[in-house]
Amino acid sequence: MPDEFEKPDRVLKAREGEESKESQQSPVGNESLHDRQDLLHELQVHQIELEMQNDELRRTQERLYQAMEKYNDLYDFAPVGYVTSDIIGHILESNLTFADQLGVARSHLIHSLLWGHAFAPDRDIFVSHHDQVFRTGKRQSCELRLKGSAGRLLHVQLDSVPGTDVNGAAVCRTSATDITARKKAEEKLNKVHENLERMVDERTAKLRVSEEKFRKLSHEFHALLNAVSDTLILFSPSLEVLWTNRVLDSGLDKESSAAVRKYCDKLLSESSSSSEDDLMTRCFETSEVEVAVVSFDGAVLDVKAFPVRDAGNINSVLLWVSDVTEKMALQAEALQASHLAALGELAAGVAHEINNPITGIINYGQILINECNPESLEKDIGERIVKEGERVGRIVKTLLSYSRHGRHDKRPVRIQTVLEESLVLSQAQIRKEGIDLKIHIAEGLPLVNAYFQQLQQVFINIINNARHALNEKFPKRHEEKRLEINIENVLINSRQHVRIIFFDLGSGINGHDLPFITKPFFSTKAFGKGTGLGLTISQRIISEHDGLLTFESEKDEFTRVIIELPAVG
């Protein structure tokens, strides 16, 4: 190419020389030569530009060729199959991966129907998928099976988007991802899931049966525990209430748990009064059964703490609280009855030993009365001897009657007679202690159907309590050291009753102690001065007579004991 450009240059230069000569000869000739030189320069510039453009085009063509090779490699050897089809479904292009997936040569795929390679039962899925792409103009996805060589089935996921070819015709570009391994894994997973569900169903059925049995046993167990009169409370190592048989069927809620906890705190404070640690703490520490007897709200409680072991560890403690008040009261009453029986035997012996000589004394006194002058001192002495002898005999008779504690049939009795017999045994002490005794008995009192000795026991117990209260407040004689006994007839619920009121101005009873004074072993007296059973027994006796025993009292002011007994008829 340089030689081709050199020849015109020489010609031009020769012509320029000639034109130069001519220009020297003529001014017009000089201008024509200048134009030709400009034209030559422009042609040279265009030549350079064309050469540069040619080099750029050559480099661009090289880059396009490399990019095309890279695209072809990516397209053919992609891990998923790529296929392009027209609106009817003919395959226009396909990569090698899609051909390998079907196990056929790529040349055999071109111009074949894409849906023809689908497994017959899944062809409708593909046709619908293909139509949706062109109808909506949006990306569509589906899963179906393709039929490969030798009848091999291939599970694929098709993702298709609409597009156009170089001529502007509508085409569908589809990627086919082999999901056969995933489908097999899902199938295995489904089988495992089905087996697990079957096993779970079988296990659930067995658990349901076991749970029903457990629920039945638990219901029977809780019914049995709730029927137990004792209180059972289960504690955790942190001394939280886990369970108790003293809660309603609704369960151990927060409020009831707090109430049980409060009860236990008060109870355990009583049980630990003589020890640094409470009963349950000691049980957790020693792993041994701990026992305590507690006086609690007027009751005597037998408290036991049992360790509950699990794999050798103490994970809870069962507190068993038994109210032994009634049991101890019955034992004490039985002991008292045995004492009364012994007293009865003693009284019978004493009565036998006293009655004979007292009869002789009374007879000698009567002889003095009969033989002496009515106005003489001897007759007066004889009358005194007879009176005191009869009083001794009456005391012996009353003592013998009181000591005969055996229960006989109820019989109509006069309340005033019961009171008189009761005062025979205590009137001497009343006089000795300087107590002013005032008795008011209404007229026309009806009879009461009662056990005579039992009512006598109640009256004596109440009188003795009044004596103790008066002596505590007034150690010596005092104008207010007074015991009043009133007996009257009242109408209660349209029935005649006899009301007996014992009123004293003694030391009285605290308001918070008043509800507990009939509880067994509860006593306001100093230790050793009372068993705490007197009013308990009195309450039971009055209840057995269908009567009512009530108390009114103020500390350091007064005490009023009211007995109401139904009249006969």
pLDDT band at 427 (very low <50, low <70, confident <90, very high): confident
- Residue 515 CA to residue 496 CA, distance in Å, equals 28
Predicted pLDDT at 177: 94
Q: What token pair was written down for 58?
A: 């050559």
pLDDT digits (tens, 9 = 90+) for 71-93: 878 888 889 999 999 999 999 99
Can you say how many angstroms the Cα of residue 6 is from the centroid of all Cα atoms in its chain?
112
Using a 10 angstrom Cβ sphere, with 0-12 exposed, 13-18 middle and 19 or more buried, the burial of residue 240 is exposed
For residue 43, is pLDDT > 90?
A: no
Task: Read off the pLDDT of each residue in 231-253 and give the average, rounded to a whole number.
Answer: 69
Predicted pLDDT at 550: 94
For residue 172, is pLDDT > 80?
A: yes
Phi, psi of 441 (to 5 degrees): -120, 120
Residue found by looking up tokens 């002058």 in the block: 373
pLDDT band at 4 (very low <50, low <70, confident <90, very high): very low
Predicted pLDDT at 559: 94
Can you say how many angstroms the Cα of residue 35 is from the centroid of all Cα atoms in its chain?
115
For residue 63, is pLDDT > 50?
A: yes
Q: Which of 503, 339, 343 is nearest to 437 (CA)?
A: 503
CA atoms within 13 A on the CB side of 391: 11
Q: What is the mean pLDDT of the chain?
A: 81
For residue 482, is pLDDT > 50?
A: yes
Predicted pLDDT at 399: 63
- Residue 285 CA to residue 273 CA, distance in Å, equals 18
Task: Read off the pLDDT of each residue in 429-435 and give the average, rounded to a whole number.
Answer: 90
CA atoms within 13 A on the CB side of 177: 11
Predicted pLDDT at 125: 94
Predicted pLDDT at 132: 94
Q: Side by side, which strands form the sheet with 548-554?
A: 436-441, 482-492, 495-504, 558-566, 548-554
Let me know: does 93 contact 106? Beta carbons within 8 Å. no
- Residue 1 CA to residue 405 CA, distance in Å, equals 159
For residue 252, is pLDDT > 60?
A: no
Instruction: Please list, in sequence order, all residues whose beta carbon lies within 8 angstroms of the beta carbon of residue 290, skipping any fewer than 6 positions away.
Output: 279, 280, 282, 283, 304, 305
For residue 108, is pLDDT > 60?
A: yes
For residue 507, is pLDDT > 70?
A: yes
Q: What token pair was written down for 286?
A: 């020693």
Q: Which residue has the higher pLDDT, 400 or 494?
A: 494
For residue 304, is pLDDT > 50?
A: yes
pLDDT digits (tens, 9 = 90+) for 356-392: 787 778 787 888 888 888 888 888 888 888 877 777 7
For residue 408, is pLDDT > 80?
A: no
Q: Which residue has the higher pLDDT, 76 or 276?
A: 76
pLDDT band at 248 (very low <50, low <70, confident <90, very high): very low
State the DSSP H helix or E strand holding residue 540, giving kind and residue range, or none if neither: helix 534-544
Predicted pLDDT at 518: 77
- Residue 146: beta bridge partners? 118, 154
pLDDT band at 512 (very low <50, low <70, confident <90, very high): confident
For residue 483, is pLDDT > 80?
A: yes
Task: Read off the pLDDT of each residue in 413-417 and give the average, rounded to a whole number.
Answer: 93
pLDDT band at 451 (very low <50, low <70, confident <90, very high): confident
Task: Read off the pLDDT of each residue in 548-568 and give the average, rounded to a whole number.
Answer: 94
For residue 20, is pLDDT > 70?
A: no
Predicted pLDDT at 329: 65
pLDDT digits (tens, 9 = 90+) for 112-156: 999 889 999 999 999 999 999 999 999 999 999 999 888 889 999
- Residue 13 CA to residue 31 CA, distance in Å, equals 16
pLDDT digits (tens, 9 = 90+) for 486-503: 999 999 998 999 999 999
Task: Read off the pLDDT of each residue in 511-520 and give the average, rounded to a whole number.
Answer: 78
SS (H, E, C) 339-357: HHHHHHHHHHHHHHHHHHH
Task: Read off the pLDDT of each residue in 408-425 and give the average, rounded to a whole number.
Answer: 86
Q: Which residue has the higher pLDDT, 78 or 323?
A: 78
Predicted pLDDT at 413: 93
Q: What token pair was written down for 198?
A: 């079957």
Q: What token pair was written down for 402?
A: 């009181």
Let me know: does 301 contact 267? Beta carbons within 8 Å. yes
Predicted pLDDT at 122: 93
Q: Which of 435, 463, 443 is nearest to 534 (CA)?
A: 463
Predicted pLDDT at 488: 95
